[in-house]
Structure 1
Amino acid sequence: MTDVLDTLIYLEVPRILSHRENIGDFLTKLGPLLISRFKEREDNVKWDIFHAYTALLSQIRSLIPNFSSITLQTDSEKGEGHESCGDVETVRIGGAILLKSAASHEQIAVLEALDAQVPMLVKAINKQLKTKTLKTKQCCFILLTQLLRAYPGALSDQLHLLVSGVASAMGDRSSNTNMKIDTLSFLSVALCSHPPEKLHPHMSVLVPLIVRAVGDSFYKVSAEALTVTLSLIRVLRPSHPSACLLDFTPFVSAIYDAVADKLKATDIDQEVKEKAITSTGLLIATFGDFLSDKASACLILLSSLVLDEILMRFQLPACLPILLERLRNEMTRLVTVKALTTIVNSPLKINLGAILPDIATLGLLDSLTTKYAHGGLDGEGMQKILAETPALVTELDLQISQLALNFVADMMATHPELIPECLSKLLSAFVLLSQSSLLQGATLTSALNLLDALMRNPVPNKPSLEELLDELTAPVFAHASLPRQAYHSISACTAVVASASDDLSKSSRLAKQLAQQLRSPDTTDGVRLFSLLTLGELGRKCPQVYENDPSLKYALIKLLKPELEHTKQRNSRPEELLVDAFNSSSEELKAAASYSLGMLAVGNLETFLPFLLKQISSQPKRQYLLLHALKEVIGSESVDARAMEFFRPRIEQIWPVLMEHAICPEEGTRNVVAECLGKLCLVHPESLLPRLKGCATSKNALMRASAVTAVKFLIVEQWTAADDMLQCAMAEFLQTVTDSDLNVRRVALVAFNSAAHNKPKLIRDLLDMFLPSLYAETVVKKELVREVEMGPFKHTVDDGLDLRKAAFEWYMYTLLETCLERLDVFEFMTHMESGLKDHHDIKLLTCLMLARLASLCPTQVLQRLDRLCEPLKAQLQSKTKANAVKQESDKQEELRRAALRAVLALHVHVPDAERQQQFAELLTMIRSSPELNALYQSVERDATHRSFTAESIMETD
């Protein structure tokens, strides 16, 4: 029987790892057989059996890579079977409630089969944990860890059977370090993946084991135990009060004692040191009230006893200076900042008075200003910090600038009396930053928030509205030309200051001044651009400026219509001023006028939208710019519910206008139309999505391209009402992947890349139907390759290159990550191999793809390794011509690095790769070449650094 089973394992395990599409059948048929043979007497066979079942679990994890995304909640108290939570249809499996809209039928079936096997599995493992063979115990914990990664919460009703095995593995003197690390890894996953109430009954056994492991002399065991401690703290006192049913007081002192010993030690490994700091931060943030109160009470009672010295270790002020000391050390600064931020963000208001004056880290200070708004941050220390802040507001580091701006804005709201001493330098730095082409996005938002805070809070000796505007706008008049983004930034700042002042008369005077600047013949293009943008920003942020001053309307309309100077056009409106700016010879002014017209409409939809639609219909030469203005209106986040109610009836007027321009020969115009169509469908999917689906089958290729491009803008990050309808229509849209028109196929791939990346559920069930068409686009098509004569030279043009790049990029960056369970990996690799021999850009893509595939499917890659080595070898051996220009040399260097990264990934992730002859020869060739070996070592160092950085971030988050 042993020989038969051994043979079965060696035959079936490769099949399990190679055919993910049959994982449900393998689990149902093979799983119970493997579990029944855990009692095998021959150790080697037993370990292979464990490996086979672990391989099954690994494939299930690949099938469901993000379990939380398909789960509504975990709750063992509700009934079994199918149920509905509101309008969301769900299905219960064990203690998990799965969203039927997010989980596929295959995922549900596999989880149900696995859940049914868990009791039998745990019972068999429990018996094996009582054996004396360390490797068998290790196999048990490795399997259980993989089980919880594939099916979090699987052991909710079985934990009591495993606790004694954990205690034995951790407490047995014969247990080696690997045994302890594997056991701790299991505990870490178990604590994270089960509800606290399921774990609380076992704390009296688990806490002493973990505390003892924290003090272990071997740094790897101690580091792993500190990782477990982070999860343990969250279990003992969950953030949700209703989940905290445990009296945690008997455990806190022991945990604090063990962690504090590691925190105070100076001669320990860096990893242990960092994890001790992180654990201390979470410990204080979670139990700070208990630790502080206990210390105070005990010190009063036992002040005359020798125990005072011991009890002082539980007093927070004694611990916080240690963290402050770690903050001054460059090696531990980052992790300490994150630990202190955790403490500050705690729902408990921890007394940080002992160290507040010395903390000068922006991210932490931002939290501190909110947490201690009414005391604790004033004083000389904070004055020094504020004095240093202006130097941090610079384009050299926008992330630091953003944090500095947020911090000062918060201080203006909570401690305005501390601002005056640094305000002058801060505004000078701010003005310099506003001239940067890099100031946009989140940093620009922080800059605008600071100005809003300055205007709305009682900051002593702050400049008046006029003085502040003069300082902010000075660069516009002092410099003949600024970066385009600078004009946008300064105009936004100007509008925010005017709006925050709540002085409508001064804001109106500002608008008149801007109008006069546009009117003056001596005005430079830069000032005109600034004036146009600011008029639009004012219309969005302060629309009352144009509503309450008819004389302003008249002044505005005259600016770009000089012939009206001596006529009385009392009913002229400001929107006409911006439309007339479309006649300018400057493309920048035209674009600014388009943006500003859209902003005017956003601020006052009822007044300006009808005008905009009329202009689109009556001004064919201006339609591209007018459509851009309409796009600003449709996509603006500032369109509120009331305005949207006005907007809905206008859709029937907007749609025909967009349809008319959806067949424009200019791709830029079609792209703007497509964005408008997609965003309109989000507003009213019931009536508009069927129309868009009809456009996808139009006889006009340009219309089909516009319709498919619109799908990309229908897919937003949040789930919307349009998603269910879009999922039903997705098959029709996907048909365009096989369109006869090359451009339609290209935009289809781009659009569905967006779907696969953001909402794979929309296309996952359709992949079997359309993957052959996708794979067909990865092949070089001779009919699309042509020669073009350029003087005496002939140049080869590949019209299918962009399409192939789109196809490779789609399933490289997207399907591989989001729909791996739907792919036949061997067919996938067949087409990937062709990419390794294609154009330079596609070679880069496929090298990155191969590196990712090596980590996701190492066993399948091993079976094709011989075929992958040859193109990689060719890339590494190729050389540029002697007379090659620097650009060609740089491209070749880039390709070599990409190939070496792929080789490194194969070496690291693919088991027994070096035993494969072709790969061994490839490594030998690299190591024997000084040039390639140096590059390979450089790539290896970069990979190690990235891995260490990522791990550090994950551990300290």
Structure 2
Amino acid sequence: RVATFHTLRQLVQSLPGCLAEHASAVVPGLDKALKDGQSNNLRIEALAFLQLALEAHAPRVFQPHAGALLPVVLALVNDRYYKTAAEALRVCSGFVKVLRPSPPAEEFDFRPHLPALFSTVKARLVGQDQDHEVKESAITCIGLIICHFGDACSSELSSTLPLLLERLRNEITRVTAVKAFAALATSKVDTGFNSSLPGSSGTVLQAVVAELASFLRKSNRPLRQASLSALEVILRAHGSQLAQGDFDGVLLEMPPLVSEGDLHMAHLALLLATTAVKTNAAATVPTLAEKLQAKALSLLQSALLQGQPLRSLLAYFSALVAADAPELNFAVLTAQLLACAGGGGATSLSRHSLEGVSSAMAACCSAAPHPPQRAAMVSSFLGELSSSTPLSRRVLALFCLGEIGAKNDLASVSGLVDSIMGSFASASEEEKTAASFALGSIAAGNLPHYLPHLLKEVGSSKHEYLMLYAVKEMLSRSGQPDLAGFAQQMLPPLFAFSERDEEGVRNVAAECLGKLAAVALDVVIPALEERLTHGNAFARSVAVNSIRFVIAEESTGASLSAASINTFLRALDDSDLKVRRGALLALNCVAHNRPAALRDSLPELLPLLYAETAKNPALVHQVDLGPFKHTVDDGLELRKAAFECMDTLLDSGLERLPPGPLPP
């Protein structure tokens, strides 16, 4: 019987909802197992199955059986064996979601079951001498009950919420209690959060916020993490009910959390600060300006800042600008950002940090409450591009113009493109790269206006390589609907670059073609397939290499069909080394990201792959260096790529890997 419930559990895990039509047949055996007092293992396995079944099926499946199953489960909540009691409490949590899945709606009559459910779980919550697992399960369950049934058991809240608050103050149970209060804050029914706390002059909400704020200085990282998340949810839902002192208590604990030492914690702290600004700017911005702003600006300059922490920091700056509080308005914040980048002279910031500062400047300009503020900032940066300005300021101005232009349409700014392209003549490679970045980013902000000029310059400008990098930047930042309509116009210049001798140029062309194909498959893929038979080996290798970038960009658009993928992978039998190596890299990419697309073509591709693992004497030659001779194997990189591809295929979990004959 234990094995049967274990098998049923595995079945439900693999096929959620599979027992929807068989619940009536399962319930009698389940009821019998739960009442079997001879075997704790059987009852625990039955409870584990029931808990999973409740989660994996629609509420209507088990609602008719609540009357039969719930009393038995509630009896097991009081079982002396702690594992049985804890598992029963988890099943009660599942029943809460079944009885009222979408509060405040009442799709099912849950009221006959609520008194026994509430009293039984509350009794476990009150108990002191019990296992830690039981305590945590009881806290979680009572929190869910209040979230779903708070309006139906309002008379119990005045005695239950102080109990939860006690568990919040207990070192052993406080992490679980923090999560319970976070859930209460998001409830759509009245949970008594704003009710008066017995024995206190404040509310339950204020007591919880004060307690959570004190946890932010604790050394326990999971506790700090849970507290930050809970505070963000509470401020978003109930921030209007908090006083100045409540906000100060939270914000004063946050500065140590905003550092590069723990970027995830910094991300959560910045999310909380952003929510605080949006909730009550007048009560929070003065404190943030005094206590947190220096830490935020220091974090912005970190070489480690990227991804979600960077996005949270930019959202924080945007919220400050939108709030337009005098302590940290647009003018104050942009001046601070320019000071970070050494706006008055030389700067020691890295390229990564400059990009961060320019992104922050763009976030401020995008959120500026008055459009003339953004226009004035763009004009200021445009003026910085004159040759008399120090190099560091010109580079910063180019990065800022690029970031601002990517998020805002700058087509109305006269002379913008000409000024940026003027930087292409600079003696500094850093400035030329920044200008290429700026031009591509600005073009992404208004494709119809800038793209024709960009394509014209790609074909005729003496700075064609910088223009190619600008096209790459534009493709990286443009959205799918905007870009797809221009795909046909962009193919000729990109195909021209794909035949150049410089490998770096061809690699950029392949990336551009891949990004373009990801948003315009019907236009680009047939053109790339035609290039597979081109007489120029460079053109064929670029066409094959572009597939890797199509696969990488598939999350933003339509997926490449397996048939098309296999068309490109057949380039494994090409006569040119570069084309075959590109096909091997593409095969490796597909095996890693889309292994299912290879199932039908593996019998054809594997012999070609195995053939590349053998050393080809024709590719080995000697180079005479005068005093000595050096042996060079042109096929070494090809063999490395082949073995890496085989390793990826073995890790991919494909069930059909026919063991073809390996070369000796």
TM-score, normalised relative to structure 2: 0.85
Q: For residue 268 of structure 1, report the CA deviation from its aligned partner.
A: 4.1
Question: Cα gap change, 1:719/1:426 in structure 2, threshold over 3 Å: closer, same or farther?
Answer: closer
Name the structure 2 match of 1:734.
Answer: 569
Q: Out of 41, 64, 85, which is 1:178 matched to?
A: 41
Q: How does 1:541-580 map to 2 (within 5 A)?
A: 541-544=407-410, 547=412, 553=414, 573-580=415-422
Q: For residue 405 of structure 1, report the CA deviation from its aligned partner.
A: 1.8
Tell me whether 1:807 sits opposite 2:645 in the alignment. yes
Q: Out of 446, 465, 470, which is 1:624 matched to?
A: 465
Tell me whether 1:702 sits opposite 2:538 in the alignment. yes
Most deviating of 791-800 and 469-478: 791-800
Tell me whether 1:356 sits opposite 2:238 in the alignment. no
Tell me whether 1:146 sits opposite 2:10 in the alignment. yes
Question: Secondary structure of the residue that 2:153 maps to in structure 1?
Answer: helix
Name the structure 2 match of 1:219.
Answer: 82
Tell me whether 1:338 sits opposite 2:179 in the alignment. yes
Name the structure 1 match of 2:455.
Answer: 613
Q: For residue 595 of structure 1, report the CA deviation from its aligned partner.
A: 1.0
Mapped partners of 1:452, 1:479: distance in 2 = 27
Name the structure 2 match of 1:246.
Answer: 108
Query: For each residue in 1:35-80, what CA deviation from the matched residue of structure 2 results, as whole angstroms up to 9, or x when unmatched?
Result: xxxxxxxxxxxxxxxxxxxxxxxxxxxxxxxxxxxxxxxxxxxxxx
Q: Out of 398, 407, 412, which is 2:263 matched to?
A: 398
Q: How does 1:309-324 map to 2 (within 5 A)?
A: 315-324=159-168
Which amino acid is 1:295 matched to?
Answer: E
Mapped partners of 1:206, 1:788: distance in 2 = 82
Mapped partners of 1:700, 1:473: distance in 2 = 49
Name the structure 1 match of 2:303.
Answer: 437
Q: How does 1:19-98 map to 2 (within 5 A)?
A: none
Asked if the contact 1:405–1:446 (Cα under 8 Å) also holds between the matched residues in 2, the reply is: yes
Name the structure 1 match of 2:91.
Answer: 228
Q: Out of 141, 145, 157, which is 2:21 matched to?
A: 157
Which amino acid is 1:318 matched to?
Answer: P
Name the structure 2 match of 1:492.
Answer: 359
Name the structure 2 match of 1:927.
Answer: none
Tell me whether 1:690 sits opposite 2:526 in the alignment. yes
Name the structure 2 match of 1:205.
Answer: 68
Name the structure 2 match of 1:942.
Answer: none
Asked if the contact 1:495–1:537 (Cα under 8 Å) also holds between the matched residues in 2, the reply is: yes
Mapped partners of 1:388, 1:201: distance in 2 = 50
Question: Secondary structure of the residue that 2:74 maps to in structure 1?
Answer: helix
Mapped partners of 2:242, 2:97: distance in 1 = 29
Q: For residue 659 of structure 1, report the CA deviation from its aligned partner.
A: 0.7
Query: For each residue in 1:454-499, what CA deviation from the matched residue of structure 2 results, as whole angstroms up to 9, or x when unmatched?
Result: 122253x324543332222113226631121111111222233234
Q: For residue 403 of structure 1, report the CA deviation from its aligned partner.
A: 1.7
Q: How does 1:364-763 map to 2 (within 5 A)?
A: 364-373=230-239, 375-419=240-284, 420-459=286-325, 461-477=326-342, 480-519=347-386, 521=388, 523=390, 525-544=391-410, 547=412, 553=414, 573-619=415-461, 622-637=463-478, 639=479, 641=481, 644=482, 650-715=486-551, 722-723=558-559, 726-763=561-598
Which amino acid is 2:521 matched to?
Answer: P
Which amino acid is 2:340 matched to?
Answer: P
Which amino acid is 2:363 matched to?
Answer: V
Name the structure 1 match of 2:217.
Answer: none
Q: For residue 394 of structure 1, report the CA deviation from its aligned partner.
A: 1.6
Asked if the contact 2:621–2:632 (Cα under 8 Å) also holds between the matched residues in 1, the reply is: yes
Name the structure 1 match of 2:199.
Answer: none
Mapped partners of 2:65, 2:160: distance in 1 = 28
Name the structure 2 match of 1:325.
Answer: 169
Question: Cα gap change, 1:750/1:264 in structure 2, threshold over 3 Å: closer, same or farther?
Answer: farther
Which amino acid is 2:298 matched to?
Answer: L
Which amino acid is 1:577 matched to?
Answer: S
Question: Secondary structure of the residue that 1:462 maps to in structure 2?
Answer: helix
Question: Secondary structure of the residue that 1:347 maps to in structure 2?
Answer: coil
Moved over 6 A (4+): 717-721, 784-797
Gaps of at least 5 residues in structure 2 are 195-203, 214-226
Mapped partners of 2:15, 2:383: distance in 1 = 68
Asked if the contact 1:482–1:526 (Cα under 8 Å) also holds between the matched residues in 2, the reply is: no
Q: How does 1:279-294 map to 2 (within 5 A)?
A: 279-292=141-154, 294=155
Asked if the contact 2:44–2:84 (Cα under 8 Å) also holds between the matched residues in 1, the reply is: yes
Mapped partners of 1:789, 1:246: distance in 2 = 87
Asked if the contact 2:77–2:84 (Cα under 8 Å) also holds between the matched residues in 1, the reply is: yes
Q: For residue 449 of structure 1, report the CA deviation from its aligned partner.
A: 1.7
Asked if the contact 1:197–1:245 (Cα under 8 Å) also holds between the matched residues in 2, the reply is: no
Mapped partners of 1:267, 1:599: distance in 2 = 64
Asked if the contact 1:746–1:802 (Cα under 8 Å) also holds between the matched residues in 2, the reply is: no
Which amino acid is 2:19 matched to?
Answer: L
Q: Indicate the RMSD between aligned Cα atoms, in angstroms.
A: 3.4
Tell me whether 1:187 sits opposite 2:50 in the alignment. yes
Q: For residue 388 of structure 1, report the CA deviation from its aligned partner.
A: 2.1
Asked if the contact 1:356–1:377 (Cα under 8 Å) also holds between the matched residues in 2, the reply is: no
Asked if the contact 1:749–1:810 (Cα under 8 Å) also holds between the matched residues in 2, the reply is: no
TM-score, normalised relative to structure 1: 0.60
Mapped partners of 2:505, 2:458: distance in 1 = 13
Which amino acid is 1:391 matched to?
Answer: P
Question: Cα gap change, 1:697/1:505 in structure 2, threshold over 3 Å: closer, same or farther?
Answer: same
Asked if the contact 1:785–1:799 (Cα under 8 Å) also holds between the matched residues in 2, the reply is: no
Asked if the contact 2:77–2:85 (Cα under 8 Å) also holds between the matched residues in 1, the reply is: yes
Question: Cα gap change, 1:341/1:755 in structure 2, threshold over 3 Å: closer, same or farther?
Answer: farther
Query: For each residue in 1:333-364, what CA deviation from the matched residue of structure 2 results, as whole angstroms up to 9, or x when unmatched?
Result: 54443333222233335332412332232211
Question: Secondary structure of the residue that 1:154 maps to in structure 2?
Answer: coil
Question: Cα gap change, 1:257/1:518 in structure 2, threshold over 3 Å: closer, same or farther?
Answer: same
Q: For residue 222 of structure 1, report the CA deviation from its aligned partner.
A: 3.1
Question: Cα gap change, 1:192/1:753 in structure 2, threshold over 3 Å: closer, same or farther?
Answer: farther
Question: Cα gap change, 1:754/1:371 in structure 2, threshold over 3 Å: closer, same or farther?
Answer: farther
Which amino acid is 2:16 matched to?
Answer: P
Question: Cα gap change, 1:219/1:615 in structure 2, threshold over 3 Å: closer, same or farther?
Answer: same
Question: Secondary structure of the residue that 2:151 maps to in structure 1?
Answer: helix
